[in-house]
Amino acid sequence: MSNPLTLGFRVKSGFAVAVVMSGPKSAPLALARRVVSLSDAAVKATRQPYHNGFGTAQEDLDEIARLTAIIKRCAGQSVK
């Protein structure tokens, strides 16, 4: 029986790191590591959406929707 693959993500500000692992729990093997873009370099607010104005939450629902759409688009393109 072959070992199953496991895909994990560690999300950071503006990007995530994806890792593919295989092997037994006692001796896992990293098969691949890639950076997944979650931001658009042309839209600064998508790079650090949670750090802009420390302690100040974005409350404009239209702006939240716009930034979220950009981040989803960038992530989708990067994962492909």
Ranges of residues in the chain whose predicted pLDDT is under 70: 1-2, 48-56
The confidence score (pLDDT) of residue 17 equals: 92
Asked if 35 contacts 44 with a C-beta cutoff of 8 angstroms, the reply is: no
The confidence score (pLDDT) of residue 52 equals: 52
Residue found by looking up tokens 């839209």 in the block: 43
Asked if 28 contacts 4 with a C-beta cutoff of 8 angstroms, the reply is: no
Domain map of the chain by residue range? 6-79
> How many separate helices (H) and strands (E) can be counted in the chain?
1, 3
The confidence score (pLDDT) of residue 50 equals: 54
The confidence score (pLDDT) of residue 37 equals: 84
Q: What are phi and psi for residue 63, nearest 5 degrees?
A: -70, -40
Tell whether pTM > 0.85.
Answer: no
